[in-house]
Amino acid sequence: MSELLHLQRWMANSIMQPLTRSYRMRRQVSGRSVKQIKDVIKPNDRLSSFERLEIYNRQYWFRVLDSFAEDFPGLRAVLGATAFHRIAIAYISQYPSRSYTLGALGARLSFWMSANSGVLGDRKKLSLEMAKLERAHIAAFEAAEYPALATAEGIDGSTRLKLQPYLHLFHFHYPVDDLLLAIRQAENDGGLLPQRRRQLLRNLASGPIHLAVHRAEFSVHYKRLDPEAFRLLRSIQRGAPLGDGVEAAFKGCKIPADHWPHLIKGWFANWMELGWFCAQAQLRAEMISRAVER
């Protein structure tokens, strides 16, 4: 390893190491004592070597914690500010920012929460579902969008359709979409007051919902789905032929078979209007082009 690369890695580790409980830099910095820091960073007439490095360490953490809170206001409301802050520090300590964009900061949050569910208190399932929804909101906004399928002509039971990368499908046990919208509205109206937070959580009813998180005209939207429509989209997303998807969608349901074509026609008309299906030929051409460019 070159001396420059070694120095760069030491600097990055120093800046990204967690702060103390009083939000100061730890006295042992990436294997160097306070006195040894001056071997790397010169003091000036106002600040010691340690103090100069501490500025960057604190600003890094204040920035990522602020960004994390901005990305997950719903989770913060469900957990409470104190518990959310504690979880944010623990999560970011284990999975620090590794991307040029802070939009990726919470990419592994659901995984981390599932592995550390003991810190979630009494609202484990609700917390996890809210985290998944808020992460999907970010991912839907940033994901690629391919040319949309313009016509259903030629589609039959053997057709394998491709959904847009920005489309996310969820089966939740709570109406977290309504809860998140109410929380965001309260934040926009001047802040989520404790009384309002308690009211929202107290009035939240449990019950299954099927939800699509998608993007349209540069905005992210939530769309409720019928259970059968959800199962059909999920089958398509997993690469199943359309005929198999239809069979999976209506398996065990009480809807008469002669009603299925009408329902499917309506769903597909809406989904194509929203541009959820990729145009296969154009998609393949674009993917080949990108592969060649690499």
What pLDDT does 288 receive?
40
Pair type for strands 168-172 and 209-216: antiparallel
Please tell me the number of Cα atoms within 13 Å of 283 on its side-chain side. Answer: 17
What pLDDT does 247 receive?
95
Mean pLDDT of 213-223: 96
Picking from 238, 244, 236, the residue whose alpha carbon sits closest to that of residue 268 is 236
What pLDDT does 282 receive?
46
What pLDDT does 134 receive?
98
What pLDDT does 153 receive?
84
Instruction: Tell which wins on pLDDT, 177 or 287.
Output: 177
- Residues 77-103 have pLDDT tens digits of 999 999 999 999 999 999 998 888 999
What pLDDT does 7 receive?
82
pTM over 0.85: yes
- Residues 54-75 have pLDDT tens digits of 999 999 999 999 999 999 999 9
- Helices 49-71 and 3-16: angle between axes, nearest 10 degrees: 60
Tell me the percentage of the chain whose pLDDT exceeds 70. 93
What pLDDT does 41 receive?
87
Residue 1: band (very low, low, confident or very high) from pLDDT cuts 50, 70, 90: low
Picking from 116, 160, 166, 120, the residue whose alpha carbon sits closest to that of residue 141 is 166
Picking from 183, 152, 171, 156, the residue whose alpha carbon sits closest to that of residue 84 is 183
Assigned token pair, 207: 């019950």
Residue spans of the domains in the chain: they are 146-173+208-294
- The C-alpha atoms of residue 213 and residue 73 are separated, in whole angstroms, by 17
